[in-house]
Structure 1
Amino acid sequence: MQHGRRKLSHGEIPSEQKALDREKAAKALKLMHTVLEARKTCKELTPEVNEMTMKALQINPEVATIWNFRCDLLSRLPPSTRTGALKKELELLNMATKLITKSYCVWHQRTWVVNELLDLMSSAQDAPEGGATNDRAEQTPEELIASELGVIDKLLSYDGRNFHVWNYRAFLLSHPAYKGDKTKLDRETSQRLIDQNFSNYSAWHLRSTLKDLDVHEELELVRQAYYTEPNDQSVWQYHNWLTIAAQGKHKLGDEYTPEQVSILKEELASVEELLQVEPEAKYALLTKAKFLRALDREGSRDEVRSIFLKLEEVDPLRRGFYQDWLEAK
């Protein structure tokens, strides 16, 4: 179902529509062939070549050869006209992104275009007034990055786990032209995405990269998440990181300080409270077993064993994993 309508099978499509589709495909194929032939001889971005390649990309934005063709022609433009042409290219890329949000060649082209624009804008800022290469842009590098981050926010709101978007975001924030507070932005972005949807591995991972986290505040955030979605793996992965890796431990067998033991005990109590409501929540059961082992409570060995035996029942696909835990010392 798409937008409330069932997608027709090939046999259900009217013959007139099939004929129109074949005609459209034939025209598209002819256009693609013309573009590829032009690439062999064309050395500049003429209006004809510009329109022809744009039409081809509007039909299918996933043709990397055409993007590379445009990239080559844009690179040949003098600085005085390149900025304007690159901004037009960004408009074309916005159109392509609306058609398909996950395309290597589209995001590769966008990264190249924005990087070129940022370099040109920085050079224009540094050039003296009236200089030969001075193409003063209406937009500053900082404004361009802010605009692109706005695009990123919209795309992440639509699909918070689109790794093309996350990679592009990392490129923007690592560029020398970005002058903002990256830590503050990462904190706000991860919080907003988690508030929208707890099940977002990318947002939780971004949060794990933040410096000077208040572990107690983070644990409270995680509690809200796992009480809402007790079987969401992304939440429990971050919880595991907070209680082990964030405490400077690589595994549960490492020695804990009194404060770290206090955190484990507090979390164990919270997990046990959750299990009273959701007795078969597998990630909560596994976490409880891990904490009991870490705390090495007297008489907990039998309880840990019973937990893993229960996990084999509620999660049979991972029976081998739980058996390995049982056999571990």
Structure 2
Amino acid sequence: MFENTKKCDVQSRQYLLFQENTIPRTFIFSYLASTNLKSQNLKQFFQSHGAHHQWSCKGYSTIPYCLPTCWLQCHVDISDQILEFNMHGRVKTKTNAEDKEAKRKEKEKKLKLYQTGIEKAFTKRKTGEYDEESLAISAQLLTANPDITTLWNIRREVLLHFKDEGQRTEDDLQQQMQAELCLIEQCLRANPKSYAAWHHRRWVLDNMPIPIWKQELALCNKYLDLDERNLHCWDYRRFVVERSQVPAADEFEYTSKKILANFSNYSSWHYRSRLLPLIYPDPMGKLPIQERKHKEELEIVQNAAFTDPSDQSAWFYQRWLLGRTLQALRLAQVHVSYDTVCVSLTHSVSVICDKSKIRLELQLNGDNFPTTWKSTNGQQYSHVWISALPKELLSGDKTLAITVSLHSGSSLVHYMSLNSGKLKASTKPQFSAGFSEGITSVLQDELDSCTQLLDLEPDSKWTLLTSVLLMQAVDRHKYQEDTLARLSQLIQVDPHRSGYYKDLWSRYKMEYAFDQNNELDQNIDLSCLNLTALYHCHYLSCVHTLDLSNNNLSGHSLSQLHPLQCCQVLKLDSNNIANLHGMPALMSLQILSLRSNVINIPDEVKYLEPCICLSSVDLSDNPTEKDEMLQELVKTFLPSVKMLNTCPL
């Protein structure tokens, strides 16, 4: 393990230099943590220490690691490590034909015995023979293969039979359950990731007269020391912690220990994100955790991420820390037409479920008006809700005061007021991260560190992606061009995930467009933005004309247009739309342009039938334009349409 090392003296201190991958990265991270080395100084650290060796330094992936020998002697048993690594490389023993035949016969013999045991266990269950023999048979079978769920079910039925029939005292049941735990542990040695075995262990603890939680926690420690990525054991550990009421602070300390041992432990980072809000909740309820702890975690994860930029575990945890503050539930837009009221919310909620605490109320001239709300996407949860109004309500010259209010339980959350002269109201969308100056300062330092790292490794995808998220968190308008440039670079560097980066591009592009438009604009132009997906469409519920031409939208994006209940003109020219399956019912839509798409089946027009006010449909420059059946199908399914492909029907 340590054969590619050299000793050197750096500022009168002894160091060992390790070429790439000759030392576990956990040693590097442990050293950084013990010296409190800031990640923004990593570049200087490696360059200053790496200058004393002969290897080339093109980036972090080729820079050798250097650690003080005195620190290694305190933290690493080198002889044990060498012994452990020398265990590999054993010569495979060849087998002759006689040995193979003997093994085959032995395997057949075991298979027959196994099948006989299975048949007997199932027969005894069918005849209701819940006895010790059933336990013995199933135990032998499960020791060989712990993944047969039915056998564990048989054991549960037998144990419950003993308990319900009063055949065992409480002490006997305790001993029986302890024996069951021993059997499960024996099975887990054969397969430490057996779903059925871990599930049965939960059942045993829940039905044990006196559960031994301390022993179970020690068992979890043992298995996670053997395999820190055993997600079944991590899940079982959370179960044990919940049942035994282990303090969250103790578990947080355990995650710190596991991360220090190996910062590539994704399960530890994830568990940490679950514990932090319990121990350090944000008093304002906006950030994931308290600001002081938020800063500390950002520095810890930065050291981990920058030690090995190619490892994704720490980067994912950092993305959780960089999550935007949760926007409060409020009314986003309200629009009243002559027969409909349309309400858009900042969150997707249910206002029709009996158990829902959220409700919408409509008042006319101060009096409650009975309404029945309907979601525009046809689902129980939606951003946009509509309700029918009597057509004569807004007729005439009488003044009408309209108030739409949002309630949570007995509390008024938000309301908007309109009148006969002003039939729509809106709030400005908020897309900023909303971090404090202190957090923003830390994020700026991290962004600077990312920039340094990209100077050394310009194609590091995790660093590029994190820098994009950091720029959005620090100042999204200041870094608008840099954000889009790095997303373009990511599409080239990581083509397998180009779809994700293109969708992220679409999200940011739409957010910047919303920032530039007035929230009450009736005409919105989102053309030529290279959009592949649609976001925040609930802020378009008051729009009359929407232009989405010259993008890269497909038919899958059409379902996201359901908030456009006031839209009269919709342009979707020059996209990649091949079908209209997801087209929502847009009750006000009159003109729909789908020029220069890839629709090749004329039957697709039947999906426009819910748009009952359509008067013009343009399918020019689509493969289906020349189909002889197109005109007849339009007349059949869209009787209100008078213009097809700019020509009268």
With the shorter chain as reference, the TM-score category is 0.7 to 0.9
Per-residue deviation, 1:252: 6.0
Measured at CA, do residues 179 and 324 of structure 1 come closer, stay the same or move farther in structure 2, by a change above 3 Å? closer
Change (3 A) 1:255 1:74: closer
Query: Cα offset for 1:233?
Result: 2.0
> Which of residues 141, 145, 161 is equivalent to 1:56?
141
* Number of the residue aligned with 1:203: 268
Indicate yes or no: 2:363 matched with 1:272.
Answer: no
Asked if residue 67 in structure 1 is aligned to residue 152 in structure 2, the reply is: yes
Deviations 1:162-215 (A, max 9, x none): 33222222221222xx2532x122212211222232223321111112222612
After superposition, the Cα gap between the structure-2 partners of 1:106 and 1:258, relative to the gap in structure 1 and judged at 3 Å, is: same
Unaligned runs of 5+ in 2: 1-87, 163-167, 281-288, 329-429, 513-649
Which of the pair has the greater relative contact order for Cα pairs under 8 Å at 6+ separation? 1
Question: 1:244, 1:252 within 8 Å by CA — same for their partners in 2?
Answer: no
Q: In structure 2, what is the equivalent of residue 26 of structure 1? A: 112
Q: Is the 8 A contact 2:252 2:272 kept in 1?
A: yes
Residue of structure 1 equivalent to 2:190: 99
Q: Structure 2 residue aligned with 1:161, among 210, 225, 229? A: 229
Q: Distance in 2 between matches of 1:83 and 1:193?
A: 33
Tell me which amino acid in the other structure corresponds to 1:301. Q
Alpha-carbon RMSD: 2.9
Q: What's the TM-score once normalised by structure 2's chain length?
A: 0.43
CA contact (8 A) 1:57 1:96 kept: yes
TM-score normalized with structure 1 length: 0.80
Residues 326 and 12 of structure 1: CA distance in aligned 2, closer, same or farther (over 3 Å): farther
Taking the TM superposition and a 5 Å limit, the aligned residue runs for 1:141-220 are 141=211, 144-175=212-243, 178-181=244-247, 183-209=248-274, 210=276, 211-212=279-280, 214-220=293-299
Contact kept in structure 2, 1:252 and 1:290, CA below 8 Å: no
Deviation at 1:8, TM superposition (A): 9.1
Q: Does 1:111 align with 2:197?
A: no
CA distance in 2, matches of 1:7, 1:56: 30
Separation in structure 1 between the aligned mates of residue 451 and residue 172 of structure 2, nearest angstrom = 66
CA separation of 1:324 and 1:6: change in aligned 2, threshold 3 A:
farther
In the aligned structure 1, how far is the partner of 2:475 from the partner of 2:141? 65
Residues 1:16 and 2:102 are matched in the alignment:
yes
Residues 227 and 32 of structure 1: is their aligned pair in 2 closer, same or farther, counting only changes over 3 Å?
Answer: same
**Structure 2: distance between partners of 1:28 and 1:242:** 52
Residues 322 and 473, structure 2, Cα contact 8 Å, conserved in 1: no
CA distance in 2, matches of 1:272, 1:112: 51
Instruction: Report the CA distance shift for 1:180/1:317 in structure 2 as closer, same or farther (over 3 A).
Output: closer
Contact 2:195 2:232 survives alignment (8 Å):
yes
Distance 2:135 2:431 in 1: 60
Change (3 A) 1:4 1:189: farther
Q: Which has the higher strand share?
A: 2
State the partner residue of 2:67: none
Structure 2 CA distance for partners of 1:261 and 1:106, relative to 1, 3 Å: same
Equivalent pairs, count: 299
Q: CA deviation at 1:226?
A: 1.0
Q: 1:108-137 CA distances to partner (integer Å, 9 max, x unpaired)?
A: 2111111122xx12xxxxxxxxxxxxxxxx
Partner of 1:232: 311
- Return the offset for 1:273: 2.5
- Distance, in Å, in 2 between the alignment partners of 1:64 and 1:298 is 56
Conservation of the 8 A alpha-carbon contact between 2:490 and 2:501 = yes
Q: CA deviation at 1:261?
A: 2.2
When residues 105 and 17 of structure 1 are mapped into structure 2, their CA distance, relative to the original with a 3 A threshold, is same
Q: Distance in 2 between matches of 1:89 and 1:157?
A: 23
Cα displacement string for residues 86-126 of structure 1 (whole angstroms, at most 9, x for unaligned residues): 11111111101111122222122111111122xx12xxxxx
Q: Which entry has the higher C-alpha Rg, 1 or 2?
A: 2
Q: What is the alpha-carbon distance in structure 2 between the residues aligned to residue 82 and residue 5 of structure 1?
A: 50
Distance in 1, Cα, partners of 2:455 & 2:92: 43
* Partner amino acid, structure 1, of 2:295: H
Aligned partners of 2:323 and 2:433 also within 8 Å: no
Find the counterpart in structure 2 of residue 127 from structure 1.
none
Letter in 2 for 1:41: T
Provide the C-alpha distance between the structure 2 equivalents of 1:70 and 1:159, rounded to a whole number of angstroms.
Answer: 28
2:143, 2:187 within 8 Å by CA — same for their partners in 1? yes
Measure, in 2, the Cα distance between the counterparts of 1:18 and 1:234: 44
Deviation, 1:28, is 1.2
Q: Given residue 149 of structure 2, which amino acid in structure 1 is its aligned partner?
A: A
1:307 corresponds to 2:499: no
CA distance in 2, matches of 1:8, 1:76: 51
Q: Unmatched 5+ residue regions in structure 1?
A: 122-140
Structure with a larger share of its residues in helix: 1
CA distance in 1, matches of 2:89, 2:199: 30
Change (3 A) 1:64 1:297: closer
Cα pair distance change 1:314/1:4, threshold 3 Å: farther
Deviation at 1:319, TM superposition (A): 2.4
How far apart are 1:84 and its partner, in Å?
0.9
Q: Percent identity, aligned pairs only?
A: 30
Separation in structure 2 between the aligned mates of residue 273 and residue 114 of structure 1, nearest angstrom: 52
- The structure-2 alpha-carbon separation of the partners of 1:319 and 1:6, relative to structure 1 and needing over 3 Å to count, comes to farther
Give 1:72 shift: 1.5
Residues 225 and 192 of structure 1, relative CA distance in 2, 3 Å threshold: same
**Is the CA contact 2:138–2:151 (under 8 Å) kept in the aligned structure 1?**
yes
Q: Distance in 2 between matches of 1:287 and 1:192?
A: 25
